[in-house]
Amino acid sequence: MKIRVVKTASNAKAVQVVRYQQNRRKVLHHVGSAHSEEDLKDLMILAEEWIKDYSQQLSIFPDESPNRLLHLNHSTFMGVKYRYFYQQTSTILDKIGLDTLPALLRDLAIIRIFEPASKLRSLELLNQYFGINHNRKTFYKIAPKCIEVKETIEQKVVDFAKANYAF
């Protein structure tokens, strides 16, 4: 399969995917027509993608530019989420024995390890870094209970440190 570019009657450039069999040209797919060089480049990339999908055969040569399949002019950067950090820190909290804590309290502990801030700012950072949303009202409801579990949490951390780190 080859990519063919021909001039049309309207002076545009048509991009086609063709195959030659028995000295005859067979058009497998018409990708589109371009009126500018930028459009032509985009259509050429689409034609290459179509060939890869149609043939379902991997190339033995690596792509010269692996990023050219990502159409940057049609993309928007949405941000970064630090899910790996969140998962690993959650696993550590579970090993310490803090898996019974309310989700909001666990999430506040994790985000304050990641970036220390006030409790209300930490709620914003949870959304920004991990995509986790907690309501302020929920925080105000759970805040008095945090004082009650403080000693239990401290004792679990000390017990874990004694058992694993010769504390």
Q: What's the pLDDT score for residue 62?
A: 59
pTM for this prediction: 0.54
Tell me the pLDDT band of 3, cut-offs 50, 70 and 90.
very high
88 vs 74: which has the higher pLDDT: 88
Domain boundaries, the chain: 2-74, 83-165
Q: What is the mean pLDDT of residues 83-87?
A: 94
- Please give the share of the chain, as a percent, with pLDDT higher than 90: 59
Tell me the pLDDT band of 75, cut-offs 50, 70 and 90.
confident
SS3 label, residue 34 = strand
To the nearest whole number, what is the mean pLDDT of the chain? 87
Tell me the pLDDT band of 142, cut-offs 50, 70 and 90.
confident
- What are 20-64's pLDDT values in tens digits? 888 899 999 999 999 999 999 999 999 988 888 888 776 666 555
Q: What's the pLDDT score for residue 161?
A: 92
DSSP string, 69-118: GS-GGG--------HHHHHHHHHHHHHHT-TTS-HHHHHHHHHHHHS---
Give the right CATH number for 2-74 from 3.30.160, 3.40.50, 1.10.150, 1.10.1660.
3.30.160
65 near 44, Cβ under 8 Å? Answer: no
Of 3-12, 39-48, 54-63, 126-135, the poorest mean pLDDT is in 54-63
**Alpha carbon distances (Å) from 37 to 42, 47, 82, 136, 139:** 9, 15, 39, 53, 56
